[in-house]
Chain A
Amino acid sequence: MSERAPTLVIDRASVAYGDVPVLEELDGVVHEGEAVALIGPNGAGKSTLIKALLGLVPVVRGRIEVLGTTPAQARRDVAYVPQADTLDPDFPVSVEQVVMMGRYRRIGWLRRPSAADRAEVAGALERVGLAARARDRFGTLSGGQRQRVLLARAIAAGPRMLLLDEPFNGVDAVSQHALLEAIGSLKEQGASVVVSTHDLAIAHLACDEVCLLNRHQFGFGPTGDVLTPERLRATYGGHALELRGDRVIVTQT
């Protein structure tokens, strides 16, 4: 369908923690400049799939190919954005120190950041609209702002693929807008984006493709084709669902 090069190929892949299978029989292809939303209820395996794309959880059957190689070997060009609230807000680290962590792999062991690294950090903070907060302690920022700092850290790494784990959870409108803008500009530069989210509206807004997950795959393809009431009901196991125009609301406990 696309003439652009595939950056992510998932081929009948199953993922497991030890002998506990988490995800089974996944299939899908993502191309450069495309964004795919991972959608499914809590415990569906969205975070596990992201960890598998990073090579941190093993693929036990089938194949996952990232940027033409194994997930572990592709890490150099893949940036990961964790949920901001998984990080200790009391940790004595400044915003610019957090963003600089994105440069560590390029800086290498035993070396210190150069002026060029500092410029990349400043530029990345500029792109998420937080240049003025560079010297503040990370934990003093709001949840949405911390999420933007973590996106800036990923941007500073200069990735060809970006993996975001629930970046829009508990994020205010301003930060949501800033996150969407920054993700959009990365896509324009040719990066692929994989983002897990509960928010179907954001999936519509920011993503070209959707992967419906709940232990198994309930659909993978263009957003408009996949986000149907039937498929969502199947994915969410019959949780109440309302449709109003093109808006889909999933309620789950």
Chain B
Amino acid sequence: MSWLDSTVHRALVEAVLVGVLGGVTGVFVVARRLPFFTMALTHATFPGIVVAAMLGVNLYLGGGLFGLLVVAAVLVFSRGRGQDFTTATGIALSGGFALGVVLVSSQDGFTRDLAAYTVGDVLAVSTGDLAATAAVTAGVLLLLALVGKELLLAAFDPVGAAALGLPTVLLDFALLAVVEVTVVATVPALGTILAVALIVGPAATARLLSDRIALLFPIAAAIGVACALAGVWVSTVWNVATGASIALLVGLVFGTVFLATAVRGRTRRAVPVRA
């Protein structure tokens, strides 16, 4: 018997991991204004999941690999004449999701697996899911520790970064790939549709509380962990959907902090950065 044999224990560990991962990645998503891209990825990875289900390989591996293709496609499309990043993202979202639907409709039988995929259930995560989320979280934290300053510059001033000779296309791909693996790793707990809540919500809330990027990471991670743990608790006590409970709490926390900071008259152009 291992401590991780308990469903609730696994759910708690997964909640902590996705809370940290979603919060940290979310800081870049919010600063770079990528919530739409994040939302699109949750849909565009769908055909990868379907193909994995058809081939009988790990669903999240399938989604993850296909997601990298989608990221590359968005980067290539957005460089076309008269195109931009949002347009390319819209194309990838609808194209990817449509491909998934076509593949599903050509098959019979695995709609139940896919239903779990769209809604997610943190109480159903396997030890394998946990290991995958832990590996992704460690990888993302390591990447940010190593090239965080270059990612920050490329996000803030792409032309300035290119002028410094930084490989901006590679840095863009790295950042979008971080978002992509975060989406895929968060899906078992929250499902495709709600994963975006745990990535955008805690970071947006942190942004209401601080202007200092060094503080945004721990604040967002703390909010993410708190909401994920509380969501697991709420769903077991009242027997309601876990993913939705977590997403709802994220929304409530954002709303509360928004009102509190609005009352103190500092929603916009918040506190000047003082150490």
Residues of A within 8 A of B (CB): 51, 54, 56, 72, 75-76, 78-80, 82, 86-88, 91-94, 97-98, 101, 104-105, 107, 109-110, 112, 135-137, 139-140, 153, 163
Residues of B within 8 A of A (CB): 31, 33, 146-147, 149-150, 152-153, 155-157, 159-160, 162-166, 207, 210-213, 216, 269, 272-275
Pick the residue among B149, B162, B210, B273 that contacts A104 (CB under 8 A): B149
**Chain B contacts of A135 at CB under 8 A?**
272-275
**Chain A contacts of B152 at CB under 8 A?**
93, 97
Assuming A54-B163, A101-B164, A135-B275, what are 10 further A-B pairs, CB within 8 angstroms? Answer: A78-B163, A80-B160, A82-B157, A86-B159, A91-B31, A98-B156, A104-B164, A109-B150, A110-B147, A137-B273
Asked, given contacts A75-B165, A92-B212, A97-B213, whether A136 binds B272 with beta carbons under 8 Å apart, the answer is yes
Q: Contact at A92–B160, with CB atoms within 8 Å? A: no
In angstroms, Cα B152 to Cα A66, docked, is 28
In angstroms, Cα B221 to Cα A50, docked, is 41
* Chain B nearest Cβ from A78, distance in angstroms: 8
Interface of A: prevailing SS: mixed
Q: Contact at B274–A82, with CB atoms within 8 Å? A: no
Q: Contact at A92–B207, with CB atoms within 8 Å? A: yes
Q: Contact at B272–A137, with CB atoms within 8 Å? A: yes
Which B residue sits closest to A94, measured CB to CB? B273
Q: Contact at A104–B163, with CB atoms within 8 Å? A: no
In angstroms, Cα B272 to Cα A140, docked, is 7
**Chain A contacts of B207 at CB under 8 A?**
92
**Chain B contacts of A78 at CB under 8 A?**
163
Pick the residue among B147, B159, B164, B211 that contacts A92 (CB under 8 A): B211
Asked, given contacts A91-B31, A92-B207, A93-B152, whether A80 binds B159 with beta carbons under 8 Å apart, the answer is yes
Pick the residue among A80, A88, A92, A109 that contacts B163 (CB under 8 A): A80
Q: Contact at A93–B213, with CB atoms within 8 Å? A: yes
**Chain A contacts of B163 at CB under 8 A?**
54, 56, 75, 78-80, 163
In angstroms, Cα B274 to Cα A105, docked, is 27
* Chain B nearest Cβ from A69, distance in angstroms: 13
- 4 closest pairs, A vs B, by CB? A80-B163, A137-B211, A75-B165, A137-B273
Which B residue sits closest to A157, measured CB to CB? B164
Asked, given contacts A94-B212, A97-B213, A110-B147, whether A87 binds B273 with beta carbons under 8 Å apart, the answer is no
Pick the residue among B146, B164, B216, B274 that contacts A110 (CB under 8 A): B146
